[in-house]
Copies of this chain bind each other. A is one copy, B any other.
Amino acid sequence: MNHAYKEPLIVQEVAPRDGLQIEKQWVETEDKIALIDGLSTCGFTRIEAGSFVSPKAIPALRDGDAVFNGIRREAGVIYVALVPNVKGAERALAARADELNLVMSASQTHNRANMRMSCESSLAGFGDVVRLVERAASKVALNATVATAFGCPFEGRIDEDRVVSIVRTYREMGIAGITLADTTGMANPRQVARLVTRVLEDVPAADLTLHFHNTRGLGLANVLAAYDAGARRFDAALGGLGGCPFAPGASGNICTEDLVNMCEEMGIPTGVDLQKLIALSRTLPALVGHEVSGQVAKAGRNCDLHPVPE
On A, residues with C-beta under 8 Å from B are 1-3, 5, 109, 112-113, 151, 153-156, 185-186, 188-191, 193-194, 214-221, 223-225, 228-229, 244, 246-251, 255, 258, 261-262, 265-267, 291, 294-296, 298-300, 302-303, 305-309
Contacts and interface: CB of A to CB of B under 8 A. Distances in A.
**How many chain copies does the complex carry?**
2
18 contacts: A1-B190, A1-B193, A1-B225, A113-B308, A113-B309, A153-B306, A156-B305, A185-B295, A189-B262, A214-B295, A217-B261, A218-B220, A220-B220, A221-B221, A247-B298, A247-B299, A247-B300, A250-B295
A223 B220 CA distance: 12
Given A249-B291, A299-B244, A188 B266 contact: yes
Nearest to A154: B308
A251 B214 CA distance: 14
Contact of A156 (B185, B215, B247, B303): B303
Nearest to A225: B1
B298 A248 contact: yes
Q: Which 6 pairs, one residue from A and one from B, show the smallest C-beta to C-beta distance?
A: A247-B299, A188-B265, A217-B258, A221-B221, A250-B299, A217-B295
Nearest to A150: B302
A296 B186 CA distance: 11
A190 to B, nearest CB: 4
Given A153-B306, A217-B295, A247-B300, A3 B193 contact: yes
Nearest to A186: B302
B295 A153 contact: no
Contacts of A189: 1, 224, 262, 266
Contacts of A309: 113
Nearest to A157: B302
Given A193-B3, A302-B156, A306-B154, A261 B224 contact: no
Contact of A251 (B188, B224, B267, B295): B295
Contact of A296 (B217, B300, B302): B217
Contacts of A296: 216-217
Given A3-B193, A298-B247, A299-B185, A255 B217 contact: yes
Contact of A305 (B155, B215, B216): B155
> Which of A109, A246, A248, A302 has the largest count of B CB atoms less than 10 A from its CB?
A302
A261 B216 contact: yes
A81 to B, nearest CB: 26
Contacts of A246: 299, 306
A205 to B, nearest CB: 16
B308 A190 contact: no
Nearest to A214: B295
A215 B153 contact: no
Contacts of A248: 298
Nearest to A155: B305
B261 A299 contact: no
A202 to B, nearest CB: 20
